[in-house]
Amino acid sequence: MSAISAKRKRAIALLSLTSIILITLDLQGSASTSVLRGTFGVFFRPIEGVARVITRPVSNAWHGITHYNAVTQENDLLREKIAQQEGAAVAAAASVRLSQELLALNGLPTLAGINSVSAQVIGDSPSNFSQSVEINQGSESGVKVGMPVMNAAGLVGKITKVFPRRSIVMLITDPEYALSVKVINNPEAASPINDPEASATTTSSTSTTTTIPKPQPTSNIPGFTPGTTTLPLTTINVPISIPSLAPTLTVPNNGALPIRETGILEGRGPSRVPIVRFIDSAQRFGTILPGAPIVTSGGSLSLAPPDIVVGTVSKVTDRLGTAGPILEINLVADLANLSFVRILLYQPITEQVKP
């Protein structure tokens, strides 16, 4: 009996040691653990497939019982929203088209110019302490670790593990997720500042004509093909305000343009909304108001291209000193109901493999 017990104790010690070694290897990013997972997946997928077929009626019945009221309410709301947004969508599409043409004209990356792969969500993480989903596209479709994943609404997450025909997507709400984002704020309109020392003078306004030659679009981003929009030499009337001893000092009216400020988005688990943390507060930026849109900032080090919609500010919490505020955000993508996603085949310039 004691011999059996000693044997079992050895087995426990051996298995524990194996687990610790595997944890160490996996945290170091060893390829052997990915091979092990992939091999296990080959054997396990058929079992999972059969289990899915068998359990689908039970699962459907469960959803029918628990979500029926919510689904009918959601349907009503969605019908109303569709009616509201049909008109706005046409105008928005025109604006987006115009914006993309302008960006392409200046050789700047646009989402429309980045190749993408559509994928279906085939499973959630079977754990209460992980925010990830599994999709049915992998390295055979060109998917690589780090690529941003979005749905029709906005950013969903990023690829963290890639297998030949499937990938794991870490959702924005995972505490391990962090991304550089920018807040587009609409500051208050510029107001004239009274200058008591100024004498009675006037402000005159004139206009000048500038000819802009067509720029050559260029980009170093793989997968991005600048648009082929061609425009003739353009004549633009630029109004110029010349202050000439005016009684009031006119602040340049750049307040009409939205100002952008960069921060770090961090996930906080499924029960708490993600936050955006600023390094310091900038006076120029003004007060951030709830509802301000948040988009990815892009850049040579960011894994996501610029201007993917992430969400809107829901709450602003100020911090002491020069530390910037913490923003709680409402995500535009509904992470609880993901069916189809799009993987942007985007890699930042710093990750580009040179031939």
Q: How far, in Å, are 39, 45, 87, 100, 236 from residue 93 at the CA level? A: 45, 41, 10, 10, 24
44 binds other proteins (CB under 8 A): yes
d(CA 353, CA 355): 6
Q: Which of residues 125-164 bind other proteins (CB under 8 A)?
A: 125-130, 132, 160-161
| Among 101, 105, 124, 139, contact with other proteins (rule: CB under 8 A) | 124
**What are the residues facing 236 on neighbouring strands?**
210
Choose one: 41-49, 145-153, 186-194, 295-303; the region binding other proteins (CB under 8 A): 41-49
User: What is the SS3 assignment for 164?
Assistant: coil
Q: Which is nearer to other proteins, 100 or 125 (CB)?
A: 125
d(CA 126, CA 128): 7
Burial (Cβ within 10 Å: 0-12, 13-18, ≥19) of residue 107: middle
337 binds other proteins (CB under 8 A): no
Q: Which is nearer to other proteins, 35 or 190 (CB)?
A: 35
Shortest gap between Cβ of 271 and other proteins (angstroms)? Answer: 5
Q: Which is nearer to other proteins, 309 or 326 (CB)?
A: 326
The vertex-16 CA angle with 10 and 22, nearest 5°, equals 135
**What are the residues facing 190 on neighbouring strands?**
none
Shortest gap between Cβ of 41 and other proteins (angstroms)? Answer: 7
Q: Which of residues 49-88 bind other proteins (CB under 8 A)?
A: 50-52, 55-56, 58-59, 62-63
Shortest gap between Cβ of 12 and other proteins (angstroms)? Answer: 5
* CA max distance for the chain: 107
**What are the residues facing 170 on neighbouring strands?**
132, 158
Q: Which of residues 199-258 bind other proteins (CB under 8 A)?
A: none
Give the chain's length: 355
Q: Which residues contact 318 (CB under 8 A, 6 or more apart)?
A: 325
Q: Are 119 and 338 in contact (CB under 8 A)?
A: no
48 binds other proteins (CB under 8 A): yes
Burial (Cβ within 10 Å: 0-12, 13-18, ≥19) of residue 267: buried
| First CA to last CA distance, the chain | 65
Shortest gap between Cβ of 170 and other proteins (angstroms)? Answer: 7
Shortest gap between Cβ of 265 and other proteins (angstroms)? Answer: 14
Residue located via tokens 């109004």:
239
Choose one: 72-80, 118-126, 279-287, 298-306; the region binding other proteins (CB under 8 A): 118-126
Shortest gap between Cβ of 121 and other proteins (angstroms)? Answer: 12
35 binds other proteins (CB under 8 A): no
1 binds other proteins (CB under 8 A): no
Shortest gap between Cβ of 166 and other proteins (angstroms)? Answer: 11
Q: Which two tokens stand for residue 72?
A: 């009918």
19 binds other proteins (CB under 8 A): yes
Q: Under the rule (CB under 8 A), what is the footprint of other proteins?
A: 5, 8-9, 11-12, 15-16, 18-23, 25-27, 33, 36-37, 40-41, 43-44, 47-48, 50-52, 55-56, 58-59, 62-63, 123-130, 132, 160-161, 168, 170, 174-176, 267-272
